[in-house]
Structure 1
Amino acid sequence: MRLAVARYAVPPGSADRAGCDGCGAPIGLDRPLPALGPAARCPVCRARVGAAPGLVELALVAAVAALALAGGAAGARLAVAWWLAWAVPLALVDAAVHRLPDRLTYPAAAGVWVLLGAAALAAADAAPWLRATAAGLTLGAGFAGTTLLLGRRGFGLGDAKLALGVGALLGWYGWPVLVVGLVLAVTLAALVGLALLAARRARWSSHLPFGPFLVAAAALTLILTT
């Protein structure tokens, strides 16, 4: 997860990060790993690489806690675990550079869809999976529609791709659960935006990344409703 954040937390249109910004030392699973540890320091020049020290690890602990507290059948919980494994780096990358890379959003959504399909097959009940599929497509299309209609004032296409997995996961448990998750995401974003305005850390024209709020709201919704 730390490697994913380090590689993809770059400005839109830039090449994925392949090494330390300071000295160029390569990073990767086949390289020496100190830069991928909690200290987040390059093993050569000691410059910080990727997310802040301990941040990825703290987010991972929160994801494991969410998985432990969420209910549901084993097959659905496996889909939640898969989604959380991708959602952690997605939220951190979006918070850092306002970007939700396809290399993370598509596997997250596809894995959720397949694992929920397997759960439906095991239970011999296709209704939840069909509802999850419809919910994912509906939420993704709704987010994409705001981009087409409102441009930069709407959600980004990355948010729409993230919504595919979120919608399917919440839709599995019912349309009301999906509505709760969406309302909670918007509420969290609004509260944080107002807090930043009050602290003079943002302006009315500022654009908050929505991915972290959607991820947090989905996890909280699963804890509260399943």
Structure 2
Amino acid sequence: MTADRVQPSPAPGARGRRPPPRLSALLTVTPPIRLAIARYAVPPGEPDRDACARCGSTFGLDRPWPALGPAARCLGCRARVGAPPGTVELAVLAALAVLAAVGGSPAERSALVWWLSLAVPLVFVDVAVHRLPDRLTWAAAAGVHALLAMAALTSAGPGPWLRAAAAGAGLGLCFAATTLLLGRRGFGLGDAKLALSAGALLGWYGWPVLVLGLLLTFALSALTSVALLLARRVRWSSHLPFGPFLVLGTVAALLLTR
């Protein structure tokens, strides 16, 4: 008679451990983000880009154009197109880590997923050309408010959503007012439109979270400006893009308070 084989018991804690995201899943998420960056990273007033500027090779999600991949090179002329190689993939991994750390109800997580998926290309575009495209900022605001409304209907109640709506609208109006009063020395209208979604996301979790997010945003902006001035990379009259600091401040506040 042969002895029955005994199956080894799983290691302690192995049952509840989730496998890390696969590389194939990451490569599925990043092409639409790279497409948005390549398309909208053009100076204000110019039409959206839909082809390689050097050889004219068109791109889109229905075409295997290399700018949608990590190498970010045109297949025809090997020119660099869109975001630098590997940077979008690192940003998406960071966004996934933020999503795992913040948690929340399914609707709350959906709102954060929607916002992060649009915040990543907005950061790259703003750094590249100092522009926050309306198609991305308005989509971020509409999606966040709608998904938070769903969270209010399913579990949280109307209070958090009303606070989020007031926070987003108030922050957006304050940013827009600086543009009207101070011109180029104030925030841009793109920053005001991005504030509609960032403010709502922070306001959903409470007024202290909104205040913390704003403090972190302005602190990061000030520290970066001072560092660049000391390194003589910018002048006092230079205008730094504010969108990346608003995104980073929002993410930092959510991580510190959840």
TM-score by length of 2: 0.86
> Structure 1 residue 72: deviation in Å?
2.8
Alignment of 1:7-156 (within 5 A): 7-123=39-155, 125-156=157-188
Query: Residue type matched to 1:7 in 2?
Result: R
> Structure 1 residue 196: deviation in Å?
0.6
Q: Is the 8 A contact 1:25 1:44 kept in 2?
A: yes
Q: Is the 8 A contact 2:71 2:86 kept in 1?
A: yes
Q: CA RMSD in A?
A: 0.9
1:117-172 alpha-carbon deviations (Å, 9 max, x no partner)? 00000016100000000000000000000000100000000000000000100000
1:169-188 alpha-carbon deviations (Å, 9 max, x no partner)? 00001111111101101110
> Structure 1 residue 20: deviation in Å?
0.6
Identity of aligned residues (%): 68
Q: If you compute each CA radius of gyration, which structure gives the higher value, 1 or 2?
A: 2
Whether 1:221 and 2:248 are equivalent positions in the alignment is no
The equivalent of 2:36 in structure 1 is 4
The equivalent of 2:17 in structure 1 is none
> Structure 1 residue 36: deviation in Å?
1.0
1:191-226 alpha-carbon deviations (Å, 9 max, x no partner)? 111111111100000000000010111111111112
Q: 1 CA distance for matches of 2:249 and 2:96?
A: 15
1:56-93 alpha-carbon deviations (Å, 9 max, x no partner)? 11111111111111133332121111100000000110
Q: Is the 8 A contact 2:38 2:67 kept in 1?
A: no
Where in structure 2 are there 5+ consecutive unaligned residues? Answer: 1-32
The equivalent of 2:234 in structure 1 is 202
Higher relative contact order (CA 8 A, sep 6+): 1
Query: Residue type matched to 2:182 in 1?
Result: L
Q: 2 CA distance for matches of 1:33 and 1:64?
A: 25
The equivalent of 1:167 in structure 2 is 199
TM-score by length of 1: 0.98
Give the count of matched residue pairs: 226
